[in-house]
A and B are shown apart, each in its own frame.
Chain A
Amino acid sequence: MHALPLAYVARNLWVRRVTTLLTALGMALVAYVFATVLMMSEGIRAALVATGQPDNVIVLRKGAGAEINSGITRPQAAVLETLPGLARDAGGRPLLSKEPVVLNSLPKRGSGKPSNVTLRGTGPSGLALRPQVRLVEGRMFRPGKAEIVAGRATAAGFAGTGLGESLRFAGREWQVVGLFDAGGTGFDSELWADADVLMQAFRRASYSSVVFRLADPAGFEAARAQIETDPRLTLEAKPETRFYAEQSEALASFIRILGLTLSVIFSIGAVVGATITMFAAVAQRVGEIGTLRALGFRRGAVLAAFLAESLLLALLGGALGLAAASGMQAVRVSTVNFQTFSELAFQFRLTPAIALQTLGFALAMGLVGGFVPAWRAARLRIVDCLRAA
């Protein structure tokens, strides 16, 4: 069977430029919404998943789910320090960090509206456990001092957290002495201070979480079993990567579900647009269709040609939408993660999978919108067509 050349299809779209553009624009907007939503969801996931280190283990109180709900008493933390198989630093100290985590309500720069910022108490081993965190300006906080180092996103977004500025809370003045870059991970949205100073200032008797590294990552199951069967500990241990992946779940899936539902609803509008355009295309070219058929092109070829025209139109829309969406990658967004009740900054992320899904979605719109008109074109009888012309 002879197919109609693709150039014929493309030139038909070109002849009706305004209509083609308007229809493609409708589809482009749907593709744009579809892509940005997936990019947002992916950005949140990527930021939090990268926050965890594959070899690190985080311990929280059983059932706590998030660090702020959790509590680990000093005796419990001491038991954890005696676990066999902990990795050790050059000085022979175990790579284990006992961290109090509190939320601090700070005003945003610009709007002045308050939001919750995670304030984490840590120490030298906490830094050793997170190699992705690098100090970019100033210096580290000194042990025993009311000093803070701020994540990049926090310093940019919240008043009083820039280098050289200071914050007043828990009855003290806290000096911001350094800025750190955590490579776009969740730590970028935090403030870090000395763990002991924080415990004292907030009069806390318990830590929020304990993070440690095992000398042999394969020993995780054994360590977990030991922690969960010890009657003194009502704690649970998780690989850090899994913990942070869970933290992203609620927000990422909320955005994905909301966005995909919207995309599907919106696509009805765009599909209607494509159908109208294609019906008009068929109606205008009845004579032409008759001529083609008379020349020997089969019904299948006519169907394929009109479907191809609709798909090409959709591809154009999809590509336009994707191009606009890829521009969103430069945008940084900060919002409160429901699960941790604290700010999380992230970037829209375009992955090849998202690009393919977007184009696939656009093509599906073209297929649905173009099928009925193409089918009608193929069903026309040669005699009727030629008579109409």
Chain B
Amino acid sequence: MFVLRLLLKNAFRHRLRTALTVLGLVVAVCAYGLLRTVIDAWYAGAEASSSTRLVTRSAISLTFPLPLSYAERIRALDGVSGLSWANWFGGVYVSERNFFAQFAVDPPSYLALYPEYRLSDAERQAFFRDQQGAVVGRKLAEKFGWKLGDQIPLRGTIYPGTWTFTLRGIYEGAEVGTDEQQMLFHWKRLSEALRQRTGAGSDRVGVFVIGISDPDEAAAISQRVDAQFRNSLAETLTETEKAFQLGFVAMSEAILLAIRAVSGIVIVIIMAVMANTMTMTARERLAEYATLKALGFPGGFVVRLLFGESLLIAGLGGALGIAASFPAVRLVGQLTGTLFPVFRLSPTTLALQVAASAAIGVVAAAWPAWRMSRIGIVNGLRHVG
């Protein structure tokens, strides 16, 4: 009890200095949490993927379409329990800043494969019936203030012209990680428009999504699908949905690496600041520590005092920083708009924030504690001057 009181008194002897150090810690711990959340957001697609879905794309790259005729051949394969397909539309809503994903899909089979997109029966039927219709995720509808029945114009970049869709449903994600910022519309509408414009040969799909009943069979089924189309005009590459999503993440690996590095740097910056505070504190109290030693306290006691004080300040700053992370993440999530479909503080991030605060406290006290434990009583007392 005595030690704790001493620690508290010591920590708040220089109120201003302690307050400033705590402020620095709050900023650093909060920034660290934000950066970790940005990295997590990148992996959100892979996190939300299902182990019972495979994605088949052209072996050359995602930009090459596959013929719709493959659908029957894939469906006939062993282990395939469901099949749907989707095309990336790449439309722009008002301005490029409002980026969100739009897919032209075959609605009944697609929604059957994605049960996590929860849609009321009435909205589902309305969407199925209206070929000009579309459904969007809840977050997207909130962001742009769309209501059922609204007209949504998109300017095509891959498919020229302005496309207007009628909003027929708003889906909700079944889990926290489900992407609620997508738009789905009828693949038939896209293919018919293309047929009118360019003539025949428009039955092309971007990717096939395959539903499987046994996740352990994923590798075998993938091979079976690809073997089916080997040496054909459009060879395929089939992988689990997770691997498919991670492929996108890997593309921006360099940026992710930079963000990771920077999130480490912020911790080092605050370590330097905190170490400085502790060094100054220890230097000022040289005589005091010598007195304690002269009174018979062992050298370890002084060391523990320093570590205790450092951890106390770091703990305080860390706790406030973590508390500040919640509103900060919410704010940044709103500011970045549709850029990150899922943006939330994960338990791992919180644990890392706690660990980082503790590490800062320990490292900051290490050097002054080592110095103080070695200082002789006489030298220390002489310092009183």
Task: Give Cα A65 to B92, complex, Å.
Answer: 11
Q: In this complex, what residue of B is CB-closest to A111?
A: B250
Given A113-B253, A262-B31, residue A273 in contact with residue B272 (CB < 8 A): yes
* Chain A residue contacts of B63, Cβ below 8 A: 68, 102-103, 116, 341
Task: Give Cα A116 to B252, complex, Å.
Answer: 11
Given A104-B60, A170-B60, A273-B273, residue A22 in contact with residue B157 (CB < 8 A): no
Contact pick for A22, options B21, B61, B272, CB 8 Å: B272
Task: Give Cα A65 to B16, complex, Å.
Answer: 55
Q: Which of A316-342 contact B (CB under 8 A)?
A: 333-336, 341
* Chain B residue contacts of A116, Cβ below 8 A: 61-63, 251
Output the least CB separation between A338 and chain B (Å): 8
**A-B CB contacts (within 8 Å), total count:** 144
Contact pick for B21, options A33, A169, A276, CB 8 Å: A276
How big is the B interface, by class? Answer: 35 or more
Q: Does B193 contact A (CB under 8 A)?
A: no
Task: Give Cα A333 to B256, complex, Å.
Answer: 12
Contact pick for B250, options A65, A115, A262, A270, CB 8 Å: A115
Task: Give Cα A279 to B90, complex, Å.
Answer: 56
Task: Give Cα A15 to B377, complex, Å.
Answer: 24
Output the least CB separation between B200 and chain A (Å): 11
* A169 x B276 contact (CB < 8 A): no
* A69 x B61 contact (CB < 8 A): no
Q: In this complex, what residue of A is CB-closest to B280?
A: A280
* Chain B residue contacts of A18, Cβ below 8 A: 279
* A269 x B251 contact (CB < 8 A): no
Q: In this complex, what residue of B is CB-closest to A250?
A: B96
* B265 x A33 contact (CB < 8 A): yes
* B24 x A273 contact (CB < 8 A): yes
Interface string of A243-266 (1 = CB under 8 A from B): 000000010000100100010011
Q: Does B20 contact A (CB under 8 A)?
A: yes
Q: Does B17 contact A (CB under 8 A)?
A: yes
Given A113-B253, A170-B60, A334-B254, residue A272 in contact with residue B20 (CB < 8 A): yes
Interface string of A184-221 (1 = CB under 8 A from B): 00000000000000000011000000000000000000
Contact pick for B272, options A29, A32, A279, CB 8 Å: A29
Task: Give Cα A22 to B368, complex, Å.
Answer: 13
* B155 x A63 contact (CB < 8 A): yes
Q: Does B277 contact A (CB under 8 A)?
A: yes
* A268 x B20 contact (CB < 8 A): no
Task: Give Cα A120 to B20, complex, Å.
Answer: 57
Q: Does B4 contact A (CB under 8 A)?
A: no
* Chain A residue contacts of B212, Cβ below 8 A: none
How big is the A interface, by class? Answer: 35 or more
Given A64-B157, A169-B60, residue A268 in contact with residue B273 (CB < 8 A): no
Interface of B is mostly: helix
* Chain B residue contacts of A33, Cβ below 8 A: 262, 265
* Chain B residue contacts of A121, Cβ below 8 A: none
Output the least CB separation between B277 and chain A (Å): 6
Output the least CB separation between B376 and chain A (Å): 20
* Chain A residue contacts of B258, Cβ below 8 A: 40
* Chain A residue contacts of B157, Cβ below 8 A: 63-66, 69
* A266 x B269 contact (CB < 8 A): yes
B contact set with A: CB distance below 8 Å: 16-17, 20-21, 23-24, 27-28, 31, 35, 59-64, 90, 96, 155-158, 160, 231, 233, 235, 237, 247, 250-255, 258-259, 262, 265-266, 268-270, 272-273, 275-277, 279-280
* A-B contacts, 12 listed (Cβ < 8 Å): A25-B272, A26-B272, A29-B269, A64-B157, A105-B62, A114-B250, A262-B31, A265-B27, A272-B24, A272-B273, A273-B269, A335-B254
Question: Sorted from nearest, which 8 A-B pairs have the closest CB atoms?
Answer: A273-B273, A336-B251, A272-B24, A335-B254, A105-B61, A22-B276, A113-B250, A103-B61
